[in-house]
């Protein structure tokens, strides 16, 4: 499979075979690293990491993955470079594309990412925008595969704010693998309708399903995996009435009562992190699942390495 030169705007950019190929590569590079094998496939490559928002996992994953493969990554905050201020996004993209071999972007508007992709002429990877978080979903699925094996017909339930970047990417990724994904959220926090519609088309090919429900105790029945994310995303802190939002989302907290309602003692919990304990997830459930949650955090690095390898070389 040759994905050289491709950008990652969102997971709709990849077909089912391509998505599976990157997942296989992610498992492969994880195994290599565990066995101390460092093939340095990205020697002499330079990677720019642009941040409009903070990041721990994604930033460190890109830096370490690049270093493992012999590449050099440089982190640039939007306050350090001209990005849409003094210089147009288009010109910044053209400059960075001349100097770097690949560009990672974490930011606010999805449109900024799309402009970088349009003008950089090198692969641009989405490391979180207001709409999508595709590198997160790749690690989510990789982690589910480690614990559940083949994922078709497995049930994953996302609880909390459905109108969320992590949720959107998880929906697409689950459909690619033929999973039964349930988004359980209040009516006022449902996922983007267009993303659901497009994901249904993928699910038709893989025999997956998508349901959007509002009753948490019903939704989690027979779940293999429960997933949650913060109720208020970066940049949304001062938008609307967050106190009211949290009140509406409280019944969707992942806690002991909810875990019992799965009626599956093997069911595990994932969280993309960072987590607000005793908001979207109770402290005890978080700690009982810390093995899974931190495996997922580690898998960010392996799967990001796979994305860079797939799109920078063939
Ligand atoms: N999950 C995730 O993207 O974490 P960071 O914000 O720390 O990168
Ligand atoms: N939805 C969260 C994800 C953080 C990784 C946010 O955008 O802040």
Does residue 187 share a domain with residue 95?
A: no
φ, ψ at 138 (rounded to 5°): -60, -45
Are 274 and 212 in contact by the 8 Å Cβ rule? The answer is: no
Q: What is the mean pLDDT of residues 277-283?
A: 97
* Residue 55, ligand 2, Cβ within 6 A: no
End-to-end CA distance of the chain: 8
Distance 205 CA to ligand 1 centre (A): 31
Is a pLDDT exceeding 90 seen at residue 206? Answer: yes
How high is the mean pLDDT of the chain?
97
Based on the domain organization, do 241 and 99 belong to the same domain?
no
The pLDDT of residue 85 is 85
Please identify, by atom number, the ligand 2 atom nearest to the C-alpha of residue 165.
Answer: 1
* E strand or H helix that includes residue 31: helix 16-34
Q: What is the reported pLDDT for 67?
A: 98
- Nearest bound ligand to the CA of residue 132: 2
Q: In terms of domains, do 193 and 217 share one?
A: yes
Give residue ranges with CB within 6 A of ligand 1: 55-58, 128, 136, 272-273
Which whole number is the average pLDDT over 150-156? 98
Strands 102-106 and 180-184: unpaired
Q: In terms of domains, do 26 and 104 share one? A: yes
Note whether residue 43 is domain-resident: yes
From ligand 2's centre to the CA of 273, what distance in Å?
A: 8
Shared domain check, 127 and 170: no
**Average pLDDT of the segment spanning 261-287:** 98
How does residue 52 score in pLDDT terms, banded at 50, 70 and 90?
very high
Domain for residue 237, yes or no?
yes
| 89/201 same-domain check | no
Query: How confident is the model over 61-73, as a mean pLDDT?
Result: 98
- What does the alpha-carbon distance between residue 8 and residue 113 come to, in Å, rounded to a whole number? 10
Same domain, 147 and 34: no
Q: Which domain holds residue 237?
A: 136-297
For ligand 1, atom 4, the nearest C-alpha belongs to: 57
Does the structure show a pLDDT above 90 at 153?
Answer: yes
Percent of the chain with pLDDT over 90: 97
Residue 98, class by beta-carbon neighbours within 10 Å (0-12 exposed, 13-18 middle, 19+ buried)?
A: exposed
The verdict on 225 and 114 lying in the same domain is: no
Residue 84 has pLDDT above 90, yes or no: no
Judge whether 166 lies within some domain.
Answer: yes
- pLDDT at 266 > cutoff 90: yes
Residue 6 within any structural domain of the chain = no
Are both 37 and 141 inside the same structural domain? Answer: no
Q: How far is the CA of 230 from the centre of ligand 1 (A)?
A: 11
302 is an active site residue: no
Active site residue 119: no
Domain of residue 62, CATH code: 3.40.50.1370
Tokens for 97? 């594309």
- State yes or no: is 192 an active-site residue: no
Asked, for residue 1, whether it belongs to a domain, the answer is no
- Adjacent-strand bridge partners of 209: 180
Task: Please give the pLDDT value at position 222.
Answer: 98
Ligand 2: distance of its center to the CA of 53 in Å? 10
Q: How far apart, in whole angstroms, are the C-alpha atoms of residue 100 and residue 275? A: 33
CB 103 within 8 A of CB 47: yes
Question: Quick check: is 229 catalytic?
Answer: yes
User: Which ligand ends up closest to the CA of 300?
Assistant: 1
| Domain membership flag for residue 165 | yes
Structure tokens given for 21: 């190929």
Q: Are residues 140 and 15 in the same domain?
A: no
Q: How many helices (H) and strands (E) does the chain have?
A: 12, 9
Nearest residue CA, atom 7 of ligand 1?
56
Q: What is the pLDDT of residue 240?
A: 86
The catalytic position among 133, 180, 271, 302 is 133
Tell me if 3 is assigned to some domain: no
Is residue 300 annotated as a catalytic residue, yes or no?
A: yes
**pLDDT tens digits for 10-24?**
999 999 999 999 999
Q: Supply the pLDDT for residue 145.
A: 98
pLDDT, average across residues 131-151: 98
Same domain, 176 and 100: no
135, 304 contact by CB (below 8 A): yes
**What pLDDT, in 10s, does the model give residues 208-253?**
999 999 999 999 999 999 999 999 999 999 888 999 999 999 999 9
Q: How confident is the model at residue 314 (pLDDT cuts 50, 70, 90)?
A: confident
Are 25 and 72 part of one and the same domain?
Answer: yes
- Please tell me the predicted confidence (pLDDT) of residue 11: 98
157-179: per-residue pLDDT in tens?
999 999 999 999 999 999 999 99
DSSP 150-187: S-TT-EEEEES-SSSHHHHHHHHHHHHTT-EEEEE--G
Residue identifier of the C-alpha nearest atom 6 of ligand 2? 233
Determine the distance separating the centroid of ligand 2 and the alpha carbon of 295, expressed in angstroms: 18
Q: Which two tokens stand for residue 50?
A: 């642009």
CA of 233 to the centre of ligand 2 (A): 5
Active site residue 6: no
Please check whether residue 5 lies inside any domain of the structure: no
Assigned token pair, 268: 């595990």
The closest-lying atom of ligand 1 relative to the alpha carbon of residue 135 is: 3
- The label of the residue with tokens 């950089």 reads 120
**How many folded domains does the chain comprise?**
2
């Amino acid at each position: 499979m040759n994905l050289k030169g491709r950008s990652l705007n969102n997971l709709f950019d990849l077909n089912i075979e391509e998505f599976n190929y990157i997942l296989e590569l992610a498992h492969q590079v994880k195994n290599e690293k565990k066995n101390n094998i460092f093939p340095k496939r990205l020697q002499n490559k330079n990677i720019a990491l642009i941040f409009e928002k903070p990041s721990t996992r994604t930033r460190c994953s890109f830096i370490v993955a690049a270093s493992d493969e012999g590449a050099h990554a440089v982190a640039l905050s939007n306050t350090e470079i001209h990005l849409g201020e003094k210089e147009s996004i288009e010109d910044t993209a053209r400059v960075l594309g001349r100097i770097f071999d690949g560009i990672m972007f974490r930011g606010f508007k999805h449109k900024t990412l799309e402009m970088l992709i349009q003008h950089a002429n090198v692969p641009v990877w989405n490391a979180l925008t207001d709409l999508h978080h595709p590198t997160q979903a790749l690690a989510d699925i990789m982690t589910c595969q480690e614990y559940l094996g083949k994922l078709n017909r497995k049930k994953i339930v996302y609880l909390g704010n459905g109108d969320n970047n992590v949720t959107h990417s998880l929906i697409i990724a689950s459909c690619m693998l033929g999973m039964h994904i349930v988004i359980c959220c209040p009516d006022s926090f449902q996922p983007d309708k267009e993303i659901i519609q497009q994901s249904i088309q993928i699910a038709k090919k893989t025999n997956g399903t998508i349901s959007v429900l509002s009753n948490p105790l019903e939704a989690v029945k027979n779940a293999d995996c429960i997933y949650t994310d913060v109720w208020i995303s970066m940049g949304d802190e001062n938008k609307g009435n967050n106190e009211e939002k949290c009140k509406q989302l409280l019944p969707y907290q992942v806690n002991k009562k909810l875990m019992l309602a799965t009626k599956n003692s093997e069911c595990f919990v994932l969280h993309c992190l960072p987590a607000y304990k005793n908001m979207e997830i109770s402290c005890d459930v978080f700690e009982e699942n810390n093995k899974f949650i931190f495996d997922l955090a580690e898998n960010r690095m392996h799967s990001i390495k796979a994305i860079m390898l797939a799109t920078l070389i063939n």
